[in-house]
A and B are shown apart, each in its own frame.
Chain A
Amino acid sequence: MSLLILNGSPRAPRSNSKRYAEAFCRYWRGTVETENLLRGDVNALCAKAGEADQVLLVFPLYADGLPTVLLSFLKDWTRSMGEKKPTVSVLINCGFYEPEQNRVAVEMVRLFCKQTGCPFGSVLAIGSGEAILDTPFRFLVRRKLRKLAGAMAHGRAVSLQCTMPISKGMFLRASTTYWTRYGQRFGRTAAELDTMEIEEGT
């Protein structure tokens, strides 16, 4: 069974989606090929997607929905889709704590499938996805990735989710530390990151 993984992240070559896709591949025993949608040859990507038995869309939640790069591709694919309809699965992550915040974006892919006749497959929705791979809780993600790969390999449709097993208060404190350190790498203080100004000064 051939699988095509499509990375729908706007920063595909250095994205968390790339890391999630790579981690998924450790548990996938069949043929797999991975492509970035960003700056890809749309016609070639659509042709490849049309030849695969399964397609796994890996992407981050963007403004409550699908990133533009993925949305554009799905529109193009709809127009060029042939007779063969691959099963489409979703591996989505968001930076928020709650994996449930990914639901609307997942439903958008489900609607795409309904409109194009592609079977909808499985879902893994990840919360705290910006940071979880760099924490001791990465094993939780790997466990779910293994389940996702197993379900897809056996043609079962599952809906999985995971996030950090900490309180929301702890998550808020951890995320504040995460972003403050992120800014420090560019010489920015926490107060500068916290500015109320928009497009005024630098």
Chain B
Amino acid sequence: MNLLLTDRPLTVSLPEGWEMVDLSQQTIAPCLGCFGCWTKTPGRCVLRDDAVAIYPRIAKSSRVLYVSAVVFGGYDVPMKTILERAIPIQKPYIRLLDGETHHVQRDVAPKDADIVAYGADTQEERDLFRRLVERNAKNMNFTAVRVHYTTMDQLDETVGEVLAQ
């Protein structure tokens, strides 16, 4: 399964095997930080909104394409919200990965990831965003990840090119 998560509507043709979720059309509350998905109902978020249909698809996907605006060198609110709500796919328990402590994954497919980022106007912000994505790779089971910078005007075109790769 391949999953495209986007924070704004896109006009692109999806190749076979891809699904798209437009986060702007979903109702997703911020994570409560309650640790319920780790300690009360392991693997299930206590908030029963649209996120509960999305994080299992993130877990199952072996290719992901995340499309997000960049704010302060990180994901803008819609993408950040779903990434925070996806912690049920991890266990509370900690392991060592490359000598660093990270959470153990539940049944999460290793992922080949592409991130299409728009709105990062300076090299400094792009460099910081790339550092963030490199951190994500360790915590989100990315085996490979590529960051593609673009503008909002060029978004459909850039996403189309990435999907065609």
Contact = CB atoms under 8 A, between A and B. Distances in A.
Interface stretch (A42-50, A143-151, A152-160, A182-190): A182-190
A193 B39 contact: yes
A176 interface: yes
Nearest to B30: A68
Given A104-B132, A196-B106, A111 B124 contact: yes
Given A111-B72, A193-B93, 13 more contacts: A11-B32, A65-B132, A69-B30, A71-B74, A168-B96, A172-B101, A186-B40, A193-B42, A197-B42, A197-B43, A198-B43, A198-B88, A198-B106
Contacts of A114: 124
Contacts of B91: 193-195
B80 A96 contact: no
Interface of B: 30-35, 38-44, 52, 55-56, 59, 71-77, 80-81, 83-84, 86-89, 91-96, 99-102, 104, 106-108, 124-125, 128, 131-132, 135-136, 139
A108 interface: yes
Nearest to A68: B30
B80 A198 contact: no
19 contacts: A9-B33, A63-B87, A65-B132, A67-B30, A68-B80, A71-B72, A75-B71, A96-B94, A96-B100, A98-B101, A108-B73, A108-B128, A111-B128, A114-B124, A175-B93, A188-B39, A193-B92, A198-B89, A199-B43
Most chain B CB atoms below 10 A, which of A62, A64, A96, A171: A64
B33 A175 contact: no
Contacts of A115: 72
A182 B88 CA distance: 16
A139 interface: no
A81 to B, nearest CB: 14
A66 B129 CA distance: 12
Contacts, number: 159
Contact of B56 (A75, A112, A198): A198
A172 B96 contact: yes
A121 interface: no
5 A-B pairs closest in CB distance: A10-B33, A179-B92, A64-B135, A11-B33, A196-B107
B100 A72 contact: no
B135 A66 contact: no
B62 to A, nearest CB: 15
Contacts of B56: 198-199
Given A65-B74, A108-B73, A202 B41 contact: yes
Nearest to B78: A68
Contacts of B30: 10, 67-69
Contacts of B75: 65
A71 B100 contact: no
A69 B38 CA distance: 21
